[in-house]
A and B are shown apart, each in its own frame.
Chain A
């Protein structure tokens, strides 16, 4: 249990705009394998939430089943967690986010949880533009059941045991683009700076953020023949751009240099500054993004960064035209029709 009030002042610990230190954003101790890519992601979620001055009590953390799905216990103890059933995290996020539209929703899933058993829920959550950061910690294997292939494993990839994957991979990012997702990004757990910036931008986004993070499994998929090993991914990681994120509260204090920097502004005023590395890549061009990703995948590369951004897609509570107050807070005075209404209905049935 953490406290609401900022942690006891340690002279050296910096605090954020809310007066919290980074320690206020941590969770329980990880029980994953030492060196697991997932723990690096957890660390960046903590950093980004701290730096973005996220109100911890508003955070709801959702997951399904698998190594990735354990991680919501390892960050943001101030928030509420819901570790549900395999592949069904998106529907858990859907219901809770509708019940309370003030929640800040983070879903953590894996490639097995989202691209195999949970494919249906992934697809439909993205279509509905649930207000959530949907993180896929993608290692190409089932870790918790000891190393079977997942649906994102490359065709021809080898397991440690020598088994070969006969089937083509499913790519969460192009799939999300196809489904109309307004914020699609891919990161590598070994590139904390890029991940940190994208997570901060994701916190500012109103709809579904699909964030596929290549996160090597050090136990089952880190051998020389693996296409998801730490070394292989590092060698094939092609960052698209240098990213900067400026939260709405800091916009006036930060000057974004002119020149080759593209700026995308969110409805709350936050800005993402994008300085291209990959010549001619435009993250606001959905079809161009799909083409570029497909081309890079054909070459065995991982294009990383903000693959696509459309800052103005209405999230589900807005599409459903829900009242501003959280539905969960509405009382009987608002919800229960009067005796006159029942009488009117009964008359119509006579």
Chain B
């Protein structure tokens, strides 16, 4: 079986790749290239072509190499593609290596003085006099550095056939409100476009042709989508600590809260946001605010979850609600802090010492980042426990096109909370009594008047009435009930999404692996291997997951970590089917691509 995926166009190849290519831009971190890259991405998007953008950036403020990849796909594939049809090389330090790695036939736009054209003879070199063009288009020398990157926007637009009106519109959107900057950047891009029209031969390897695939779509990143979910979920207390790649989730929330969470009459805030001294304190704020009846959250990455884990065990055992966003990055330790991975699966599933099990949500799309964030607050209050929303850098910080988010019309579920009157009427109320048999008890909130409902919350052993107890039967009753509660969650968490082609062979992925998995599933099918795809969206595993596991001969579990952590959870949960699970792994810090999935599954199948 051979599956063909995104082979680069050969020089002189017969077919033009229309709306189906990847561009990689190599620049220096801190040079302002992010604006130019976003403009190029948006301009193509505005041409009606589906695009995704991935910023591969270093852990550095300025000076180190950074790459940005724009993928256009007529088929709607938005995963990272390992091969690139166009390179834009702006960084002298990496140019030679970038050339060495280039796919044969690629177009290479580069700064003329770099003299890259002698390095290989199987690439199409396009030297551009960047400095000359900047000098001519921008009268103020001190601004040259700022607009230099707009030159490649103009040149690439010309070569790809992107309408310059769209590029100008994208510049205006990106630099909203800064009239002078808009003018300068538009002039530079236009000057470069005109220069390219006059001086560069056209090419027919890759082209953008107007389409209608992006009508009504938005461009958003997952952190913003999660922040919006929290905004609509009515979060009232946020305790957080900065960490890449999670900071922008709270920072974006802060911007929205400034606008939408002020009392219109008094200007006072309906949300408390405190940047804490560390992740431990953030976790303490989240759980105690939840305990006191607020909707609370924090946003962090793996190292932060590690620091929070003692508190998360407390939250689980005393049954305090709170939402914990984990925007995953490459671990262990500091690892590659600006690269992506799905390597906190087991950490979040069982965070803390002792026997703990947590509800985890794995959004795989921007709409789900929004909706699951909204739902997480309901689940936290319903189940009175820490809820993890697990994304990663790829979902959280990269640009994704998406349908606009649907308004979450479902009313808030504030869970089993007894008010003053209910407490007065309750007979023999106990904070940890399982009245309904679903493992979820009725709680009271501090400050409830009337003299009923006060109790003592403790991380030490306790009985149904929240009294200190070291009795074996009391301890066992509580932890067994917590397990029962987790069972109840199976009917409340998001069910999986299926993409079935009618096969006994299963593939299973979650979160940011979805786009690559879809593309790989299609490629495998085209090569003769049909699969049924289950996209997992939550822990605990629901009945649909049970049925899938039971029904398939083999299940390829696709994930972005070294150890096959999700596959491990499956083997542990379904020991009788343990040999069904085969791990398909990708963990080098780049987002997963379809080719690596196809290659690994193909290799398994050939065994």
**Chain A contacts to B: CB under 8 angstroms:** 1-5, 55-58, 60, 62, 72-73, 77-85, 88, 90-96, 98-100, 102-103, 120-121, 123-124, 128, 316-317, 320-324, 326-330, 332, 334-337, 339, 341-342, 345-346, 349-350
Contact = CB atoms under 8 A, between A and B. Distances in A.
B95 interface: no
B405 A342 contact: yes
Contact of B237 (A73, A78, A98): A98
Given A83-B459, A95-B289, A88 B294 contact: no
A120 B277 CA distance: 7
Nearest to B294: A99
The 10 closest A-B pairs by CB, nearest first: A4-B451, A91-B284, A335-B234, A328-B293, A95-B288, A99-B294, A95-B285, A99-B292, A80-B446, A95-B289
B213 to A, nearest CB: 14
Contacts of B239: 91, 94-95
A94 B216 contact: no
Interface in B252-271: 256, 260-261, 263, 266-271
A335 B457 CA distance: 28
Interface in B416-457: 444-452, 454-457
Contacts of A62: 288
Nearest to A93: B288
Contact of B447 (A77, A100, A317): A100
Interface residues of B, number: 72
Interface of B: 216-220, 228, 231-234, 236-237, 239, 256, 260-261, 263, 266-274, 276-278, 280-296, 310-311, 314, 318, 404-405, 407, 411-412, 444-452, 454-460, 468
A88 B281 contact: yes
Contacts of A1: 452, 454
B270 A98 contact: no
Nearest to A58: B447
Given A124-B276, A322-B269, A332 B234 contact: yes
Given A330-B236, A330-B270, A84 B459 contact: yes
Given A336-B232, A346-B218, A57 B449 contact: yes
B294 A328 contact: yes
A45 B268 CA distance: 34
28 contacts: A1-B452, A2-B451, A57-B449, A57-B454, A81-B455, A84-B288, A85-B310, A90-B284, A91-B282, A91-B285, A91-B288, A93-B288, A95-B287, A95-B288, A95-B289, A95-B290, A96-B292, A99-B290, A100-B292, A103-B447, A320-B272, A322-B269, A327-B294, A328-B292, A335-B261, A336-B412, A341-B260, A346-B405
Contacts of A92: 284, 287-288
Contact of A2 (B266, B280, B454): B454
B404 to A, nearest CB: 4
Given A58-B447, A99-B296, A124-B276, 11 more contacts: A56-B454, A72-B456, A80-B457, A82-B288, A84-B314, A85-B314, A93-B288, A95-B296, A99-B272, A100-B447, A103-B447
Nearest to A73: B456
A214 B269 CA distance: 40
Given A57-B450, A77-B454, A328 B288 contact: no
Contact of B274 (A85, A100, A128): A128
B89 to A, nearest CB: 31
A131 to B, nearest CB: 12
A225 B135 CA distance: 81
B175 to A, nearest CB: 14
A337 B292 contact: no
Nearest to B278: A120
A83 B456 contact: yes
Contacts of A329: 293
Contacts of B237: 95, 98-99, 327
Contacts of A128: 274
Contacts of B289: 95-96, 98-99, 327-328
Most buried by B among A1, A62, A72: A1
A316 B451 CA distance: 28
Contact of B446 (A4, A96, A350): A96
A128 B287 CA distance: 19
A88 B450 contact: no
A178 B408 CA distance: 48
Contacts of B294: 95, 98-100, 327-328
B287 A335 contact: no
A350 B274 CA distance: 31
Contact of B277 (A72, A82, A124, A326): A124
Contacts of B261: 335
A345 B284 contact: no
B297 to A, nearest CB: 11
A350 B457 contact: no
Contact of A88 (B311, B407, B448, B468): B311
Given A330-B270, A335-B270, A94 B277 contact: no
B454 A94 contact: no
A286 B166 CA distance: 63
Contacts of A82: 288, 291, 318, 456-458
B236 A335 contact: yes
Contacts of B272: 98-99, 317, 320, 322, 327
B140 to A, nearest CB: 31
Contacts of B455: 80-81
B470 to A, nearest CB: 12
